Structure 1
Amino acid sequence: MAVRHGESEANLAHQQAGQRPLVYERGDDEVTLTERGRTQAAALGRLLATLPDGETPELVWCSPYRRALDTWQTAWQAWGADALPVTVDERLRDQEAGAFAHYNLAAIKERFPEELARREAEGAYAFRPPGGESLADVVARLRSLLADLDERAEGRRVLIVAHDSVVLGLRHVIAGGPDAELAAVLEFAPVLNASVSVWRTGTGRFELVRFNDVAHLGP
C-alpha cells in the first residue's frame, strides 16, 4: 500500500496563490500538514482500522520529509494499533525541484522562461530542473528501494508513506515497463493528498487493486 501525505502548508499556499506568482521560503523537507491534512491523515488511520487482519500493514517505510512523517504519526494514532516498525528512507523523498523549489509555476515563468521551454521540449517526465531531479531520477531510486524491500520485508505487508511523484514512480516500476514508456504514468496524475494505492502479491507478481483512491476521505 502506498499513501501520499495529507494536505501540506505548501499545498495550501500554492492553491491560494492560484495564477499569481508565489515564492514559498520554507524548505521542502520542513513543510508540515494543515489542519485539513491532519484530518485526512486521521481518516487514513480509520481506514486502516477497518481492514481485515490479512490486509493490515505490518511494516512502514516513510519519506524523511516532515509532512509524510506527520501523516503516518497522525494515521497511526487514529488507527489505535500497536507500534509498527518504521523505516525512514531517503529514497522516498519527494522529487527534488532544485532551482524551482521555492516557486509556483507563475513565478517560474517569470524567472526561468528558458528552462520552461526546455521542459516543453524534453517532456515533463525527462526534464531535470537545474540542481533538481527528473521523474526518471525518482524511478531509479525507487527501483533500488523495491529491491531492498523484497529482501527486508520478507513477505510482510508494507505501507509506504510518501509523495505524489513517488506514488507515480512506484506505479511505473511495479508495472515493469521500460523507461521509454515512463511518460504514460503522467496520465494518472495528480496523486491526491492522503490517497491510497494498493498492490497485492503472493503469486510472484504484483496486481494493482486500486490507485489514487480517496473514498475514505468522504465528500
Structure 2
Amino acid sequence: MDTSRPALLVLVRHAESARNQAKKGSVYFADTAARQVVRGVPDHLIDLTADGHKQAEQTGHAIRERFGAFDHVFTSGYARTEQTAEGILAAYTTAERAGMHVKADLFIRERDPGFAYDMTTAEAEAAFPWLNEYWQTFGGFMARPPGGESLADVTGRVHTFLNTLARDHAGQKILIVTHGGTLRCFRFLLEGWTYAQAQKWPRGQTPANCGITTYSDNGSRLELVDYNRVYWTVGSAADGI
C-alpha cells in the first residue's frame, strides 16, 4: 500500500478577523475611519472578532463529529489562525487534545501584503498609480503587490510544506488552519490547476471564514472531497485575508 501522503488533509480558513471586518472584502481600506481599529497592527498579530471566536467554536464541533481526532494540527503561527485552532480544539476532550500535536509552520502563512498594507484606496492609487495596469497585465497569481509576495511565491513555500507532510506524516490525519490566499496555493498544487485557473477565485467560490476544504488519499493522490463547507451560523463570510 502506498503511504507517501497523509490519509486525510483538512484545510480550514481562519475565522473572521478584525481586518476582515474593517475592510469588508475590499483590497484596501475605504477610508481612515475604516482602518482606525487595526491601523499599525502587523498582519501576524491581527486577532479574531467576537463573531470569529464563535465561528471557530461552532466549526470545531462539526469537525470533531465528522473527522474525529487528528494526528497533527498545523497553523500559520498568525494570531488569527492560532485563535481559530484553539476554538476548534475546544470541542475535543482533554484526552483527545493530548494526542494531537499542534505546531505553527511559517511556510503556510498568508501572502506578504507589502507596502500598501495599511493604505486606503485613495492612498494606494496615489502612491502606486501604475499598479492597476501592472496587475491587469500579470494577473492575480503572478503579480506582486509592491514590497510583497505573489501567490506564485507563496505556492513555492506551500510546495515545501506538502513535501514535508509526505515525508513525515504519511498515512496520518492532518488539520491545517491557514489563510485564503494560501488556500488557493494548496488547491493549485493538490488539484493540478493551470495558471489561468489560479488567477482568481471563480465567482461565488471565495473561501469563507472557517470554510472547510477536505482531501482524502485515494491510493494514488490526495483527492478533493469537498470545498468551503461552512458549519457556523454567526457573523458573515468575509473576503480578504
Of 21, 35, 46, which residue of structure 2 is paired with 1:12?
Answer: 21
- Contact 1:14 / 1:104 at 8 angstroms: preserved in 2? no
- Equivalent position SS for 2:43: coil
**Counterpart residue number, 1:58:** 71
Q: Aligned partners of 1:105, 1:190: CA distance in 2, in Å?
A: 21
- The answer to which structure, 1 or 2, has the higher relative contact order (CA under 8 A, 6+ apart) is 2
**Counterpart residue number, 1:46:** 61
Q: Aligned partners of 1:153, 1:19: CA distance in 2, in Å?
A: 40
- Contact 2:215 / 2:223 at 8 angstroms: preserved in 1? yes
2:21 counterpart letter in structure 1: L
Q: Structure 1 residues 155, 16: closer, same or farther in 2, change over 3 A?
A: closer
List aligned pairs for 1:19-98, cutoff 5 A.
20-22=30-32, 23=35, 24-51=39-66, 53=68, 56-80=69-93, 81-83=96-98, 84-98=100-114
Q: Structure 1 residues 185, 175: closer, same or farther in 2, change over 3 A?
A: farther
List aligned pairs for 1:96-107, cutoff 5 A.
96-105=112-121, 107=123
TM-score (norm 2): 0.81
Q: Aligned partners of 1:108, 1:57: CA distance in 2, in Å?
A: 43
Do structure 1's residue 175 and structure 2's residue 191 form an aligned pair?
yes
- Equivalent position SS for 2:40: coil
RMSD: 2.2
- Contact 2:13 / 2:207 at 8 angstroms: preserved in 1? yes
TM-score (norm 1): 0.89
- Contact 1:136 / 1:182 at 8 angstroms: preserved in 2? no
- Equivalent position SS for 2:119: coil
Of 130, 133, 148, which residue of structure 2 is paired with 1:132?
Answer: 148
- Equivalent position SS for 2:167: helix
1:185 deviates by 5.5
Q: Structure 1 residues 181, 16: closer, same or farther in 2, change over 3 A?
A: closer
Q: Aligned partners of 2:219, 2:43: CA distance in 1, in Å?
A: 38
Q: Aligned partners of 2:25, 2:159: CA distance in 1, in Å?
A: 35
1:89 deviates by 0.6
- Equivalent position SS for 1:29: helix
Q: Which runs of 5+ in 1 are unaligned?
A: none
**Counterpart residue number, 2:161:** 145
1:44 deviates by 1.4
9-18 or 87-96: bigger deviation: 9-18
- Contact 1:8 / 1:37 at 8 angstroms: preserved in 2? yes
Q: Aligned partners of 1:106, 1:191: CA distance in 2, in Å?
A: 27
After superposition, what is the alpha-carbon deviation per residue over 1:21-52, rounded to whole angstroms, capped at 9, x for unaligned? 34432100000100000000001111122125
- Contact 1:48 / 1:79 at 8 angstroms: preserved in 2? no
- Equivalent position SS for 1:72: helix
Q: Aligned partners of 1:104, 1:167: CA distance in 2, in Å?
A: 25
Q: Aligned partners of 1:173, 1:39: CA distance in 2, in Å?
A: 31
Do structure 1's residue 2 and structure 2's residue 11 form an aligned pair?
yes
- Contact 2:139 / 2:199 at 8 angstroms: preserved in 1? no
- Aligned-pair identity in percent equals 27
29-38 or 205-214: bigger deviation: 205-214
- Equivalent position SS for 1:128: coil
